[in-house]
A and B are shown apart, each in its own frame.
Chain A
Amino acid sequence: MSNNEDRFSQALKEILAGGFTRTIISVILGFLVGALFMIGSNPEFIESLGYFFSRPADALGAAWSVVNEGYGALFKGAIYNGDADTFVKAIKPMTETLRLGAPLILAGLGLGLTFRVGLFNIGGTGQLITGLIFAVFVATRMELPFFLHLPLAIIAAVVGATLLGALVGFLKARTGAHEVILTIMFNYIMLYFFTFLMRDPALLQEQAATGNPKADPAAETALLPLLLGDEFKLHWGIILAIVAVFVFWWLMERSTIGFRLRMVGYNPDAARAAGINVERTYVLAMGLSAAFVGLAAANQALGTQFGLTPSAHANIGFDAITVALLGGSNAPGILLAGLLFGAFKAGSPSMQVLGVSPEVLGIVQGAIVLFIAAPPLIRAMFRLPKPQTTNVLGEIRDRIFRKGGAK
């Protein structure tokens, strides 16, 4: 075999062994699992099973049509609606995906950051709620001109979330308590605290108090402006998310801060011997992580004209874990993963209309990340090669770009 061919097969092996291939396979498998559930719960399919051996085409046809309908509706609701009569209506689904994906991307960046530092931040929900509290206070209880009000509300959300995140980091660094337990407990504490605040008119409850915990709508001066005019609900939250993706990329891959964060994540002992204050790094990481989650809180609090309720966190804190996992905790990955799961949210209503329970997307989401969580499983299922120790791909890439890469 010539040297070149050898290199080619080596490079192919590396591609197959790489994270990207596994991710794609996981996503496809996730959709397959979802399809199985849709088929299995379809009455026509179950009926046709009764005479499967005499007319198997019926069963297969029913199966195909239910999957086609379900995922077709998802596509129409989340990306492009070919049936729409106007262009605006046709592309509106896409903008909805962007709108609903933005908070997932933002919170996903936050949780991804802690994963890189070897911490498990399960507290997205608690941090998000703290951000909501701060943002709602600024947005509903202060009167300011637009150019001050919105930035202040965003900053408040970030500060609020960061405070809780840093507190968890501090408690961990100081006492060695495990962050998983701390963050889970704070999720509930903050949820109840938020509810309490929204029960009292002197605090955050709406002026037209109905007795239910609910906050006032944000002042118009504090709202994130619409991005594409009145016909779309898409607002500046997505811009916030894209900027955050760039900031995250620079922070983790290019800056010395990220270098130290990653170092602590891989090997805290070596980091300590290299003069890094590991405990302080934990506080920093939890704080930075929560800051991104705080941006997601800003998006939630300032992206709607309706008053918030205790469920305004919309489970983003947990969904963001799946986003970070699917995205491999890196910036471009989280962007794509956030958009994928944003699409799930955007497509739900149109699936509902067709009578396909959009809850199936929860299964797809769970299945995808379950496959992601165990690389050896995917490797075993598809007989993919093990990760290679040589770096032919890297050499090829270097030859193409001829520059010091972003390593």
Chain B
Amino acid sequence: MKLELRGITKRFGTLVANDSIDLTVNPGEIHALLGENGAGKSTLMNVLYGLYTADEGQILLDDKPQDFDGPGDAMAAGIGMVHQHFMLIPVFTVAENVALGHEPTKALGALDTAKARQQVIEISERFGFNVDPDALVEDLPVGVQQRVEIIKALSRDAKVLVLDEPTAVLTPQETDELMEIMRQLASSGTSIVFITHKLREVKEVADTITVIRLGKVVGSASPNASTSELASLMVGREVELTISKKQAEVGDVILKVEDIAALDDRGQRAVDGVSFEVRGGEVLAVAGVQGNGQTELAEVLLGLRSSLSGRGHIELTGQDVTEASVRARLDIGLGYVPEDRKKDGLVSEFTIAENMMLNASYKSRFTKGLSINFPARAKISADLVKEFDVRTPSIDTPAGNLSGGNQQKVVVARELSRDVNLLIAAQPTRGVDVGSIEFIHEQIISERDAGKAVLLISTELDEVLALADRIAVMYRGKIVGIVEPSATREQLGKLMAGVSA
């Protein structure tokens, strides 16, 4: 089936997420939609899928204009979607999840479970998915859950399959399997829209590439185009993430981590025997594909997640903090820029000033006895807003009203203005505009140059290479190697795929 988008525009308030986007996907084609995080790819696909209604523009299938009132219409028209966050119900079986929405029934509206199972088995066998229809989805590994999503789409006779950042949660091996599945589907006539920001995958599997940036189509390319060509289209400038920095002057060991392990929310081992040291004056970057335990590692270091007891320990400036509370660690001088600032870094309803004292509400420069020291807070906040170039009408503006980049600056300002010995920055530039990225990078480097230890956790290889003095690569909860930043991308890639150097 041929899919065509014409002049799609979608606004959220004043933000234009999609600005008259045109896109054509031919039958049996793998069409990659390439763009940075926040470029508007997912919005576009949600419009296509009927979850959002476009403010302007048209969707055509085989040249017939469509009018989707909800995902049901899109599905009926032959569009299937595998969302970045799986749309599966954890407590249902695979068969129930696949059947949901177009359930086979017997008399009295009773579910025909046998038929539902049969459907799963059929598709699963046709493509060699190897999925048990009776397994509860919550018990399945992520890669298999994704296959359930694909089965779901195929069971509805999807002629156009949209995959939204499908590899973000996959291991390299699972990624390769997915690529194989995509080729197989395309050769059987399904059109595939593959949304990603990973250049390697695009070059490997796509037939056509469309690049979007800041909600606009900025060009298209063939998979033969060079990586730097694609990258510069994507970010809109010559990629120059190499920040000028002096040679590191390495000092004492600030953070010492020895053989720690932790479980994730589902009770699986996420961090498995990790050891490393970070010294003052250096940036240690933890690289790796998302979902290999980096998030949990950061939480263990801050004390949000307890490490498995009786195993390993964490030392901060010589003190054993393995069992210490979050507050104790903050007091010793740990600064933390969380991966998800909206969830862990800010209170959106609080004003900027209030957010500046978020983790300093016990005895600090913001307090006077049991009271808040309002004049001091106003002054400090105003100074920080200026110093860190936070664009805001006033310090009394709720943080939730700021743009992503400015929110992140508030977090960075707060953490760096405290007297920290160690800065843990997890994905510090995710969803942040280019200008702010540079600024935040400079701040991190100046922290390092001031003799502080910096632990940078990032899935963006460019960021890692630009900032790190040493790079630790994490794979399946383990550190598989620590290398110099002079290492080649190929070397790093191998490590990230779990092949030890």
Query: Of the 9-residue stretches A38-46, A154-162, A254-262, A287-295, which lies at the interface with chain B?
Result: A254-262
Does any Cβ of A come within 8 Å of B375's Cβ? yes
A272 to B344, CA, bound (A): 8
Q: Which listed segment binds B: A10-18, A49-57, A70-78, A274-282?
A: A274-282
**A37 interfacial contact with B, CB 8 Å:** no
Chain B: minimal CB distance from A367 (Å): 28
Nearest residue, chain A, Cβ from B341: A270
Chain A CB within 8 A of B309 CB: no
A267-B348 in contact (CB<8A): yes
User: Are B302 and A273 in contact, CB atoms less than 8 angstroms apart?
Assistant: yes
Which of these binds chain B: A20-28, A194-202, A356-364, A388-396?
Answer: A388-396
Is B349 a contact partner of A270 (Cβ separation < 8 A)? no
A270 to B359, CA, bound (A): 9
Query: Chain B 359-389 against A: per-residue CB contact (8 Å), 1 yes, 0 no?
Result: 1011000010011101101100000000000
A window 344-397: CB within 8 A of B: 389-391, 394-395
Surface stretch bound by B, among A120-128, A131-139, A142-150, A399-407: A399-407
Q: Using known A-B contacts A273-B338, A404-B375, determine if residue A259 contacts B361 with beta carbons closer than 8 Å.
A: yes
Query: B397 interface residue, CB < 8 Å from A?
Result: yes
**B347 an interface residue at 8 Å Cβ cutoff?**
yes
* B397 CB contacts on chain A under 8 angstroms: 391
Q: Mark A245-274, 1 if CB is under 8 A from B, else 0.
A: 000001000111101101100110111111
Q: Does B346 contact A (CB under 8 A)?
A: yes
Q: Which of A250, A262, A269, A277 has the most CB atoms of chain B within a 10 A radius of its CB?
A: A269
**Are A389 and B362 also in contact (CB < 8 A) when A259-B372, A263-B350 are?**
no
Q: CB within 8 A of B372: which of A254, A267, A269, A394?
A: A254
Query: Which residue of A267, A389, A390 has the most chain B CB atoms within 10 A of its CB atom?
Result: A267
Alpha-carbon distance between A407 and B336 when the two chains are bound, in angstroms? 25
Provide the bound-state CA to CA distance between A97 and B419, in Å.
Answer: 54
Chain B residue at smallest Cβ distance from A251: B370
Q: Is the CB of B370 within 8 A of A275?
A: no
**Contacting pair A395 B394 (CB below 8 A):** yes
B290 at the interface (CB under 8 A from A): no
Of all chain B residues, which has the CB nearest A258?
Answer: B372
Are A256 and B396 within 8 A (Cβ)? no
User: In whole angstroms, how far apart are the Cα atoms of A389 and B13 in the complex?
Assistant: 11
**Smallest CB gap from A250: residue in B:** B371
Chain B residues with CB under 8 Å of A276's CB are 326-327, 361
Task: Let me know if B343 and A270 touch, CB within 8 A.
Answer: yes
Interchain CB contact under 8 A, A273 and B336: yes
How long is the Cα–Cα vector from A303 to B381 in the complex, in angstroms?
A: 48
Q: Within the complex, what minimum Cβ distance (angstroms) separates A405 from chain B?
A: 7
Q: Is B61 an interface residue (CB 8 A)?
A: no
Do B347 and A263 touch across chains, with their CB atoms under 8 A apart?
Answer: yes
Residue in B closest to A273 when the chains form the complex, CB atoms = B344
* B353 touches A (CB below 8 Å): yes
A256 touches B371 (CB 8 A): yes
17 A-B residue pairs with Cβ-Cβ distance under 8 Å, sorted by A, are: A250-B371, A254-B371, A255-B370, A255-B372, A263-B358, A266-B350, A267-B348, A270-B343, A273-B345, A274-B330, A274-B361, A275-B326, A275-B327, A275-B328, A277-B327, A405-B396, A406-B374
Report which A residues bind B (CB closer than 8 A): 250, 254-257, 259-260, 262-263, 266-267, 269-277, 389-391, 394-395, 404-407
Beyond contacts A272-B304, A276-B327: 7 other A-B pairs, Cβ-Cβ < 8 A, are: A256-B371, A256-B372, A259-B361, A273-B304, A274-B326, A276-B361, A277-B327
Across chains A and B, which 9 residue pairs bring their CB atoms closest together, nearest first?
A275-B327, A274-B359, A273-B344, A404-B374, A275-B326, A267-B347, A274-B358, A275-B330, A404-B378
